[in-house]
Homo-oligomer: A and B are copies of this chain.
Amino acid sequence: MGEGVTRLVQGGVTSAQGFVASGVHCGIKPQKKDLALVVSRGPAAAVAGVFTTNKVKAAPVLIDMERIRSGQGRAVVLNSGNANACTGDPGLRDAREMARLTAEHLQLSEDLVYVCSTGPIGVPLPMDAIRRGIPEAVRVLGPDGAPAAEAILTTDTVQKAVAVQVTIGGQIVTVGGMSKGAGMIHPLMATTLTVLTTDATVPPAVLQAALRRAADQSFNRITVDGDRSTNDTILLFANGEAGAPEIAGPGEALDAFQAALNSVTVNLAKAVARDGEGATKLIEITVGGAQSDEDAQRAAFAVANSPLVKTAIHGAGVYWGRILAAVGYSGAEVQPDRAMVRIGPVVVAERGIQAGGPELIEQAGEHLAGQDVQVMVDLGVGRGEATVWTCDLSEEYVKENAGDLS
C-alpha cells in the first residue's frame, strides 16, 4: 500500500492497535445490550470531541465538555435506553458516578473516562442497572468491536462500524469507529453518538482540528449546525500505538491522516442517514451553481428536510417542482428561469420548466425506485456547491415515533 493511500478494511472501533471494547446487557432496556465500553490499553491517549450545539445539553455532554479540555482520555462508557437529559443535578451526579465506577474497575484516573448516553429524555438513569453492568463490561473487554456497536443502538436497524488504513511514514495507521443514529436525523433530534479510535500519534490540538474538519464534511452534512439533539457526541481517541511518526502539524502526514479520518466519518454518516427510522433509501442531494458554498448548503438542506420531497421520493414520484419550491424558500439565491434539476442521470427540469415528456419522468421514476437516490440542483447563479445526505420519509417513521422510543 503506497504512502498516504487510504484503504477500507473490515472492522470498527477496535481495529486500531491497542483498543478493546465490550457491550453488555445491564437492564436499562428489557433485553437488548445497553452498555458499551471502549478502552485504550496503552498508557496515554489524546482525545478530541465535537458536541451538540443544543442549548439543552444532557448531563454526560456537560461532563465530557469539561474533561476534553485536558486533551487526554483512556476510555468511554456509553449507554442506550436513557439519554440522562433534562434530569437536573441528580443526572449530573449519575453521569459522574458512571465515569467513576468505570475508572475504578479499569484502575484509571476518573477524569480520563468519558460518558455518552442515548434514549428517552427526562427519565432518571436507572443506576442500579448501570452499577451492575460496569464491572461486567470491564470483565468482557476484548478485541471484537461488534458488541459495543450493538449496545449503543436505539431504533437503529443495523450496526454501523467502519475502519480504514493508511500508510504514514512507512507505518500502517488505522482509523476506525462506530456510530448510532436513527430517528429521522435532522430536522429531528435523533442523537448521533460516534466513537472513533486511531493508533496514529497526534497531539490533542491537531487531533481536535482534524476531527472538526471531518465532522463538517460528514455528520454536519446530515444534520444542520444548531439543530441537534441534547446528546450528540463524537469522540476521537489517538493512542499512537502504530509507532508512526507524530503528526505535529500541516503536511503530507496530516493530509493522509485527515483523508483516512474523513473516509471513516463520511461512511459512518451515510450509514446513519441510510438507517433513519423507517427509511428505505439513502438520498444524496448536491446543489451547484450557487452564489456561495454556504448558499448551496442552505438550499441542499432545504430540499433534504422537506417532508414533501422526502415523501415523494419514498413513493418514487418525480415531483421536481417540490424540489425547486424548497430551494425557493431556503433563503439561497436562485434564478428560477435558469434552474436545473437532475434525478439520477436524468435532467428533469431545465430553465425552471420540465425538460421533456412522460418517458423522461418515467426514467427518473426508475432511478427514484432504487435504494440509492441522487438529486442534483443547479441554481443558475454562481459556482458554490455542497452535498448533503438524508433518507426518505415513510409511514413506518410516524408509527415508530407515535409509539415508544427505546
Q: Which among A161-169, A170-178, A392-400 touches the partner chain?
A: A392-400
Known: A53-B329, A398-B311. A349 touches B86 (CB 8 A): yes
Q: Interface code A31-61, partner B: CB below 8 Å = 1, 0 otherwise?
A: 0000000000000000000000111110000
Q: Which residue of B lies closest to A53 (CB)?
A: B329
When the two chains form their complex, are residues A184 and B307 in contact, meaning their CB atoms are under 8 A apart? yes
Contact partners of A188 in chain B: CB under 8 A = 306-308
When the two chains form their complex, are residues A83 and B121 in contact, meaning their CB atoms are under 8 A apart? no
Separation of A328 and B52 alpha carbons in the complex (Å):
10
A277 CB to nearest chain B CB (Å): 10
Contact partners of A54 in chain B: CB under 8 A = 325, 328-329
When the two chains form their complex, are residues A401 and B230 in contact, meaning their CB atoms are under 8 A apart? no
Q: Interface code A304-339, partner B: CB below 8 Å = 1, 0 otherwise?
A: 011110011011010111101111110101101101
Known: A56-B328, A326-B189, A401-B312. A352 touches B88 (CB 8 A): yes
When the two chains form their complex, are residues B329 and A226 in contact, meaning their CB atoms are under 8 A apart? yes
A170 CB to nearest chain B CB (Å): 46
When the two chains form their complex, are residues B402 and A329 in contact, meaning their CB atoms are under 8 A apart? no
The bracket for how many chain A residues form the interface is 35 or more
When the two chains form their complex, are residues A353 and B226 in contact, meaning their CB atoms are under 8 A apart? no
From residue 355 to 406 of chain A, which have CB atoms closer than 8 A to chain B?
393-395, 397-399, 401-405
Known: A325-B230, A349-B86, A398-B394. A56 touches B336 (CB 8 A): yes
Separation of A306 and B122 alpha carbons in the complex (Å):
17
Contact partners of A307 in chain B: CB under 8 A = 184, 187-188, 307, 397, 401
Separation of A334 and B86 alpha carbons in the complex (Å):
13
Copies in the complex: 2
When the two chains form their complex, are residues A308 and B55 in contact, meaning their CB atoms are under 8 A apart? no
Separation of A329 and B55 alpha carbons in the complex (Å):
6
Q: Which residue of B lies closest to A308 (CB)?
A: B188
When the two chains form their complex, are residues A121 and B322 in contact, meaning their CB atoms are under 8 A apart? yes
Q: Which of A56, A312, A395, A405 has the most chain B CB atoms inside 10 A of its CB?
A: A56
Is A87 at the interface (CB under 8 A from chain B)? yes
Contact partners of A317 in chain B: CB under 8 A = 402-404
Q: Which residue of B lies closest to A402 (CB)?
A: B315
Q: Which residue of B lies closest to A320 (CB)?
A: B122
Provide a sorted-by-A list of 13 A–B residue pairs whose CB atoms are within 8 angstroms. A53-B329, A56-B336, A85-B325, A86-B336, A86-B354, A121-B325, A122-B354, A187-B307, A227-B329, A230-B324, A307-B307, A308-B401, A312-B402
Q: What 17 new A-B contacts, CB under 8 Å, besides A55-B328, A86-B324, A122-B324?
A: A54-B328, A85-B325, A86-B321, A86-B349, A91-B353, A121-B319, A122-B349, A189-B306, A228-B329, A230-B321, A230-B324, A307-B401, A311-B397, A311-B398, A314-B402, A319-B405, A397-B398
